[in-house]
Chains A and B, each alone.
Chain A
Amino acid sequence: GQQVMQIPQYQHVQEGEDFTTYCNSSTTLSNIQWYKQRPGGHPVFLIQLVKSGEVKKQKRLTFQFGEAKKNSSLHITATQTTDVGTYFCAGGARSRRALTFGSGTRLQVQP
C-alpha cells in the first residue's frame, strides 16, 4: 500500500534559525496537504499542493511539490516560538480515496 515518510522525526532549533521537513511517497500523488498540530491539539490544515513543481508561500512558510509528485517539503524561515508543533504531510492518490498521513516532524524552538 501507499506509504508516506517524513524526515526528520524531530528537530530542535534556536529561534530565528530556519527549518525544513521533507515528505516522500512510495507512489505518485495526486495532491499533497500539510497540517500543523500544536502540543495537545488537533491537526489544522495549512495548505494543499496539486501541480507538479508547485511552490506556495504563506508568510515565512514555503511549500514545494516535487516534479514527479512523489515528494514535498515545508521550509520555515526564521522560526519563532509560535512555530512549535508537529507538521504532517498527507498525500492523496487516485488508487485510494483518502489521504495517507506521514509520520510527522516535531519542531521545538528554543527562545
Chain B
Amino acid sequence: DAGVIQSPRHEVTEMGQEVTLRCKPISGHDYLFWYRQTMMRGLELLIYFNNNVPIDDSGMPEDRFSAKMPNASFSTLKIQPSEPRDSAVYFCASSFGTSGAYSYNEQFFGPGTRLTVL
C-alpha cells in the first residue's frame, strides 16, 4: 500500500491567490482528517470526514477555508484567498473505524504539504 498521498509537497504562492491541497487516503479507510502544523500553534485538527461526510469542521479557521470529499479516495482543502498567516505544513491522515462510531484507531499521516504564502 502506498500510504496516504498528498500533493503538492511544496506550494509557494502570493497573498490573495487560491490554494488547493489534495489528499488520497489509504484504500478502505473511512475516516479522513486534515491537520495544520505550525511552530506557534502545534498540530491542529481542521476538519474530519466519516464516509465522505464532514463530521466536525469546528477547527476550520474561517470562511476562507473549505474542504470537500467527493468520494472515498479523494479530498481537497482549499484556501481562498490565501494570507501569509496560512503558511504552515498541512497534513492529511486517514484511519479505519466502525462506520458511525468513534474512530480511535491508529491514524496514518501523509507526508504533508508545506505551504508558504508570500
Contacts and interface: CB of A to CB of B under 8 A. Distances in A.
Interface of A: 30-31, 33, 41-45, 48, 88, 92, 94, 96-104
Contacts of A98: 33, 45, 48, 55-56
Contacts of B43: 43, 88, 101, 104
Contact of B45 (A94, A99, A102, A103): A99
A101 B44 CA distance: 7
A97 B107 contact: no
Given A97-B102, A99-B107, 13 more contacts: A33-B106, A42-B91, A42-B110, A42-B111, A43-B43, A43-B107, A43-B109, A45-B108, A88-B43, A97-B48, A97-B55, A98-B48, A98-B55
Given A99-B45, A100-B45, A101-B42, A92 B109 contact: no
B103 to A, nearest CB: 8
A101 B102 contact: no
A45 B91 contact: no
13 contacts: A33-B107, A42-B91, A42-B111, A43-B93, A43-B107, A88-B43, A92-B104, A94-B102, A97-B103, A99-B45, A100-B45, A101-B42, A103-B42
Interface of B: 33, 35, 42-45, 48, 55-56, 91, 93, 102-104, 106-112
Contacts of B33: 98
Given A88-B43, A98-B45, A98-B48, A31 B107 contact: no
A33 B107 CA distance: 10
7 tightest CB-CB pairs across the interface, nearest first? A42-B109, A45-B106, A101-B43, A103-B42, A92-B104, A43-B109, A31-B104
A44 B56 CA distance: 23
B100 to A, nearest CB: 10
A33 B109 CA distance: 14
A96 B56 contact: yes
